[in-house]
Amino acid sequence: MAQLWGGRFTKETDQLVYNFNASISFDQKFYQQDIKGSIAHATMLGEAGIITKEESEKIVEGLKGILSDVEEGKLEISSKYEDIHSFVEATLIDRIGDTGKKLHTGRSRNDQVALDMRLYTRDEVTALQGLLKELMTTLHNIMKDNLDTYMPGFTHLQKAQPVTFAHHVGAYMEMFKRDYDRLSDIYDRMNYCPLGAGALAGTTYPLDRKMTADLLGFYGPTLNSMDSVSDRDYVIELLSALSTICVHLSRFSEEIIIWNSNEYQFIELDDSYSTGSSIMPQKKNPDIAELVRGKTGRVYGALISILTTMKGIPLAYNKDMQEDKELTFDAIDTVKGCIALFNGMISTMKLNKENMKVSAMKGFTNATDAADYLVKNGVPFRDAHGIIGQLVLYCIDNNKAIEELSIEELQKISPVFKEDIYDAISLKTCVEKRNTIGAPGPEAMKQVIEINEEFLKNI
């Protein structure tokens, strides 16, 4: 047991208390950020004349050595320390002697951990955006290739109107574009440096907070020291954004599962992204899509957990906040895994375009267009709706699609129908005529694809 704060105590901590309190098992995940933060702090202490330049350089060298030794596996992060901060400081003192004891001048673990967590999550925001970009690039390519891949669009999981596969996938593209932008917003709001806030009330040393903020790539220092050590809004926002990404991945997974089912057969997942059954030899299961859908629960759990942890904490730092780490790390790793696996799954799946088309033709998805035909020929929409309703009933009784009826059959229901009805309700017409921006028609889709192309180029 090695503690930084033993001076005031006459007794050793109870082992169970020590274990309950310690965070090294998980906060070692941000050893890099902890050391980089310390390097910036020591550099600033030297520049500001709070310690000598020589001392500052010696500390920085020592810290760099610790960083590279951990990275190269020459130095193991030992669990005999309470947290990563204690480990780094003790190792530094061990290596460079008493000068190392000056590193913590004008700093508290409260602003230190606030800094480490910000640096860590900031790096992860960028990594998540990189993965989202890869996923969006896959979707973009699928869209470009499938402008005339017809499929039924659904409401209530009932066939509604025909769309294209490009259009359906394009809906998810919009969701992931918003997810990407949401992460950029979070980055911008969180990118202020809490270092220098001390335990809660700043310090009496003439710290140059702007310098440490600059050295660490922040826009500037945070403006209230009590807020700086107790703010975890950026964690809440990040977990909320991750939860939203999960909503999107989960809905998409659900559709993949439906499309891949024996009943639909719109797509076929690649063998490399499917699993079998131990008893049923015929099975090829969409486990990856199911796992992505399932993992949503633990990410929501992390969000609810941090919201609950934070809600009753008085200012400023309280140990409750140590609970922000494990769940955030887990949520980040989970979502990164989900995006990468989902991307692999959809870039290898096969589309059964014919099945999609046949399905679109079979479910009266052109009924609205048949009604619109009547409207264009002078029938009020409400009457047209009723006429087509009768027509659909007739088709169901006779097991036919609207376009399979003879002109005589059609005219028996409404004399307004003429030969040009067949062209007006063909799948191709139904899709191609829908060309207002945002609709599935090819002209509209091409404009959106151009916008997406620009988006991907600029991120």
- Tell me the catalytic residues: 156, 277
Residues 65-104 binding ligand ARG (CB under 6 A) are: 83
Is 29 one of the binding residues for ligand ARG (CB under 6 A)? Answer: no
Cβ distance 47 to 29 under 8 Å?
A: no
Q: How far is the CB of 38 from ligand ARG (least distance, A)?
A: 14
Is 321 one of the binding residues for ligand ARG (CB under 6 A)? Answer: yes
Is 327 one of the binding residues for ligand ARG (CB under 6 A)? Answer: no
Q: Which of 165, 317, 342, 364 binds ligand ARG (CB under 6 A)?
A: 317
Question: Considering beta carbons, is residue 108 or 212 the nearer one to ligand ARG?
Answer: 108
Stretch that binds ligand ARG, among 69-77, 167-175, 316-324, 364-372 (CB under 6 A): 316-324
- When computed from its CA atoms, the radius of gyration of the chain, rounded to whole angstroms, is 31
Q: Which of 23, 250, 274, 309 binds ligand ARG (CB under 6 A)?
A: 23
Q: How far is the CB of 360 from ligand ARG (least distance, A)?
A: 55
Question: Considering beta carbons, is residue 306 or 427 the nearer one to ligand ARG?
Answer: 306
Q: How far is the CB of 47 from ligand ARG (least distance, A)?
A: 26
| Residue whose beta carbon is closest to ligand ARG | 322
Q: Which of 285, 322, 368, 429 binds ligand ARG (CB under 6 A)?
A: 322
Q: How far is the CB of 308 from ligand ARG (least distance, A)?
A: 17
Residues 94-153 binding ligand ARG (CB under 6 A) are: 109-110, 113
Question: Considering beta carbons, is residue 318 or 411 the nearer one to ligand ARG?
Answer: 318
Size of the site for ligand ARG (CB under 6 A): 10
Question: Considering beta carbons, is residue 112 or 250 the nearer one to ligand ARG?
Answer: 112
Q: Which residues sit at the interface with ligand ARG, rule CB under 6 A? A: 23, 27, 83, 109-110, 113, 317, 319, 321-322
